[in-house]
Amino acid sequence: MSLRNKTISGALWNAIELFSGKFIQIFITIILARILVPSDFGTIALLVIFTELSRVLLDSGFSQALIRKENATEKDYNAVFYFNIVMGIILYVILYGLSPFISDFYNYPELTNIARIVFLTIIINSFGIVQNAIVIRDINFKILAKRTIVANLLSGLIAIYLANNGFGVWSLVVQIVLAALLRVMLLWFSSAWKPSFTFSFNPIKELLPFSINLLFSGIIDVLASNIQMLLIGKYYTASDLGFYSQAKILSAMPSQILTSIVKNVTYPVLSVIKDDTSQLKQAYRKIITIAMFVIVPVMFTLVAIGNNLIPFVLGEKWIPSVEYFILLSFVGAIYPLYSINQNIFLAKGNSKLLLKVSIVQKLIAISGIFITIQISVLALVIGYVITTIINTLIIMYYAGREINYMFKEQIEDVSGIILISFLMLVSIYFFGVELSFDNTLLTMLVQVLMALIIYLSLSLLFKLPVLDEFKDIFARIRDRG
């Protein structure tokens, strides 16, 4: 199979994994949100910064290094596998001991036992990182699709059963741990690679120069991305954190799903052509315009229908989440520019520059957080939107320099998409305000249909160049069929 066809096949299976897996997750979350109270979700959100930080420390950038390495060997896989397990055990022991102090920090005594169970996912996940990297390296997302669907469905159904029987926040704890366990087990059953009883530290030393910068970059990214939750949990109530966390998760999910498809599939491909700057620029230009063409109108549509969507889906008790959801959906619209640009640094092997850029970005983000946190949660969200826009422009500039894709060119490539999406947003928003039906669902469905018609019509009217790329993709899919 050619690299291009393999990429298209990988994208299709990655789309199946992410869409079906996230659809199940959203469906389960909607049901649980109607059974449980916002403070239950807020309690779990208190631990997010610790679990995410542990995830980065656990991987230490080695999975990206394995994906990028041209001739990864059995010795490389074994070394990273056993390193991950040792790191997982060490991290769990540390967090187990710190759990009472975490509870004291939030003034929430019951959090100690909850934390110690949730942190078990660290050890569990350590057993599947190498297999996951191999699957991504081979662009074999069919395995990941089956794993994600089964794990999310089974863990979610059990969580719903427990929630209905009065287990409260513990139903969410069981869901998290069981989902992690099922994902790793299914990955082991599906993956052809199994570790052998040999270990050498040499591969770790060889991979370290590349991975160490990713490690520090990942740590900084996690701290900056999740410090909002830590501080909201400290200065406000668990319910406030629940409103914020669910708005952030739901608003980010569509953009992250679509962007992850692009990133996961294109990173191995970009790594293959990393030495041809001209070809890399051409490929990246197509990737970013396709991603933005799909994601921006989706997120702008969510902005327009957010006032009706949140109470309709989650229930009236979640209305305080609406403002957060709408503002954070704007962040989701530009997320591809921020996220996919990171692949350029990785494909070019310049993780050192990525680290430097990340440090600057996170300092800006954290400054915004500390300026706004004591005003209100809404002020925090507004500050987050502003700093995200600034940081996106920064990474566009420096990533573009790596492949001679100048900042002005990038703006020109996406400006038409953003403008058309904004015109669509204004049209369907005022329709929802002025001409809404008595039935909320019907109003939203008509708005979504209008959004699709207006967006495609304007795209054809203005003859966006990205349409030619979609014609080419669909033609190749048809020919393969």
Each residue of 268-280: pLDDT tens digit? 555 555 566 677 7
Buried b (16+ CB within 10 A) or exposed e, 192-213: eeebeeeeeeebbeebeebbbb
**Bigger pLDDT: 243 vs 272:** 243
Question: Band of the pLDDT at 466, cuts 50, 70, 90?
Answer: confident
> Is pLDDT above 60 for 62?
yes
Residue-wise pLDDT tens digits, 352-392: 787 788 888 888 988 999 899 889 999 999 999 999 999 99
Question: Band of the pLDDT at 343, cuts 50, 70, 90?
Answer: confident
Q: Mean of the pLDDT values across residues 77-85?
A: 81
The angle that helices 202-235 and 238-272 make with each other, rounded to 10 degrees, is 150
Residue at 390: amino acid letter: I
The angle that helices 440-461 and 407-434 make with each other, rounded to 10 degrees, is 140
The verdict on residue 437 lying in a domain is no
The verdict on residue 363 lying in a domain is no
Pairwise CA distance, residues 131 & 358, whole Å = 28
Residue-wise pLDDT tens digits, 303-335: 999 888 998 888 889 999 999 999 999 999 988
> Is pLDDT above 50 for 1?
no
Domain count, the chain: 1
The verdict on residue 219 lying in a domain is yes
- Two tokens at 155? 């863990």
pTM of the entire predicted model: 0.75
- Domain range holding 146? 1-235
The verdict on residue 465 lying in a domain is no
The verdict on residue 146 lying in a domain is yes
Provide the Cα torsion 291, 292, 295, 301; round to 10°. -160
Number of H helices, E strands in the chain: 19, 0
Q: Mean of the pLDDT values across residues 15-23?
A: 69
The verdict on residue 394 lying in a domain is no
The verdict on residue 364 lying in a domain is no
Query: How confident is the model at residue 56, as a pLDDT?
Result: 75
Q: What is the DSSP string of 131-173?
A: HHHHHHHTT-HHHHHHHHHHHHHHHHHHHHHHHHTT-THHHHH
The verdict on residue 127 lying in a domain is yes
Taken in order 100, 104, 109, 111, is the CA torsion positive or negative? negative
Q: What is the DSSP letter of 359?
A: H
